[in-house]
Chain A
């Protein structure tokens, strides 16, 4: 069937074919004359699961828990299973996935294909670090079992492979003990970007989760905000309720009202910062509130108007952070764009292929997807290239192939390996085409 697809940021919209098998015999006999894209929850910032002339294959019916071992701490699930479903299941055994991105609707297949990060990348790494096995389906190759011992090269290529090696059918994932279903959280006010970087750096080793919310919309008080620092503490008398949430549906959004503008954002952000910092003392909150900060804030994604928004997320090397901040502040003042969201997280790791990781800080901004913002983003691209920063390909809907090539040393190797595995390159998306993969 033909249907409309839209990325979460609203920047990429197109009509394309869609199929949604609900039985293995239909999934594993999948045949297409043209390119295919696997699709999970369909709430990626970028068009990773659809594109013009590409047939999307929805995996939402393949969402079952296949096996579980509480003692050995692993779980095997189908790719369409959501983080929310697994969170609710695993916490009964005081276990959790080590890495969970910001919304419970996100599926396991999407987490693997994007090799995503959570709120504690500095301590727990990327999602792919905790994947033990994958069952991958490619119409020309059939069902292939992948692990760190078997088909290792394809395993490495599939994790963070943007769905370009095939359809992830199921995966076996490591779990970690969840000390408590509630966390003690502090919101530590910061006055500017320099202070935010310093506080995040100071707390990253001692706190279980550290990230920050900053305000770059108010040019008079640039970088004010707060750092969120959370740690597990023994359970009290509170009981964490099962997750209840409404699914986001970017494809169905027809009107995006321009609510987040240069006029409104300074006021909204000031109010948000006030609400975030008014309670100075540490407080106990359900773990899900820290893990899934986008929960309950779904309207935000539709507030930038008809063209949507762009999220630029750059991983800045630690050694360059101070000089980088000064240059960012200069560019923000120069372009004076309404920046709706700014966050900062500590990172640690070694990058390969197009994986978003490294030693430093992940710096994120959201801006309306208009021509003036594109000028700011282009300047930031150059800045990132100059400072050795990399831009997250799973977040930025306008990142060019040229910039990705300059920022990721293994860009060519990634493409070469994809071509070697699948010379016909059956799997594609609007994202892979934009990045010329």
Chain B
């Protein structure tokens, strides 16, 4: 299998890359930091004896066509695309415009642009998978995570559309609404619920390849919680400081 992992240098992306390499996938890894990527790629190449390529790009404004050309040249095709990049800040009111732009790009628009570039390649793949990582935060807009939540909500919607688009193709679409992950993004925060180790999340995602899942919660127990949040009357919700 030939897989592209976008957001591969740390957290879920790094764990996913390791699981995929362990399953024998040739990999093309994308992230913003060249040094992290080089370390991950070297480790996977040596330990799993698979081909691993990498490219450092800034997801603020990627060049999808250039990346596509490099991936196809390196791997000779693509069967799986994982867009698991993400960036979050706890906001509560206006933020610096540059930061807003970056949050929207990393969590939404760059995801759309990059998936769009590879869409026809994935549609042609006999056993393709398009996998995205969203967030429970997108379930209902709230003041303390407004930009991130909105952007991930947009990505969620786009993946739902891609599932619809690819319905007659072998390519399967899976979108994970992630709860808390034990990464540097949540490190040191007082979380209301336990955080899932990225290694555990990656195991679930790799095991689900080939399944027509649509959007699911990971871990699953977030589903009833988010259902309550979604259905909560405004008169109650507005009093919550979340």
Contact = CB atoms under 8 A, between A and B. Distances in A.
Interface stretch (A19-27, A250-258, A293-301, A354-362): A19-27
- Interface SS, B side: helix
Interface residues of A, number: 19
Interface string B5-44: 0000111001000000000000000000101100110110
Contacts of A78: 39
Nearest to A62: B39
A1 interface: yes
A89 B188 contact: no
9 contacts: A1-B188, A21-B184, A22-B14, A23-B10, A23-B33, A23-B36, A26-B184, A61-B10, A67-B46
Nearest to A2: B188
Contacts of A62: 39
A19 B188 contact: yes
A22 B183 contact: yes
B35 A20 contact: no
Contact of B43 (A1, A19, A20, A64): A64
Given A23-B184, A61-B10, A78-B39, A68 B33 contact: no
B33 A66 contact: no
Interface residues of B, number: 17
Interface string A48-84: 0000000000000110111110000000001000000
- Interface SS, A side: mixed
A22 B39 contact: no
Given A61-B10, A64-B40, A24 B46 contact: no
The 6 closest A-B pairs by CB, nearest first: A1-B188, A64-B43, A22-B10, A24-B35, A22-B184, A64-B39
Contacts of A19: 187-188
B29 to A, nearest CB: 13
A23 B42 CA distance: 15
B47 interface: yes
A114 B40 CA distance: 27
Interface string B100-141: 000000000000000000000000000000000000000000
Contacts of B42: 64-67
A66 B9 contact: no
Contact of A25 (B33, B40, B183): B33
B108 to A, nearest CB: 22
A9 B88 CA distance: 39
A65 B184 contact: no
Contacts of A1: 187-188
Nearest to B189: A1
Nearest to A26: B184
Contact of B46 (A18, A23, A65): A65
A7 B36 CA distance: 31
B19 to A, nearest CB: 15
Contacts of B11: 22
Contacts of B187: 1, 19-20
Contact of A24 (B36, B43, B47): B36
A200 B11 CA distance: 48
Contacts of B14: 22
B41 to A, nearest CB: 9
Contacts of B36: 23-25
Contacts of B184: 20-23, 26, 61
Contacts of A64: 39-40, 42-43
Contacts of B43: 64-66
A1 to B, nearest CB: 4
B21 to A, nearest CB: 12
Contacts of B35: 24
Contacts of A22: 10-11, 14, 183-184
Residue from A24, A62, A89 whose CB has the most chain B CB atoms within 10 Å: A24
Contacts of A67: 42, 46
A91 to B, nearest CB: 13
A54 B9 CA distance: 29
B39 A66 contact: yes
A136 to B, nearest CB: 16
Nearest to B185: A22
Interface in A64-116: 64-68, 78, 89
Given A26-B184, A61-B184, A65-B46, 5 more contacts: A19-B187, A22-B184, A23-B9, A24-B39, A25-B33
Nearest to B187: A20
Interface string B196-235: 0000000000000000000000000000000000000000
Nearest to A81: B43
Contacts of A61: 10, 184
A67 B45 CA distance: 10
Contacts of B46: 65, 67-68, 89
Contacts of B40: 64
Contacts of A65: 42-43, 46-47
Nearest to B184: A22
Nearest to A170: B39
A22 to B, nearest CB: 4
A365 B184 CA distance: 40
Interface in B168-203: 183-184, 187-188
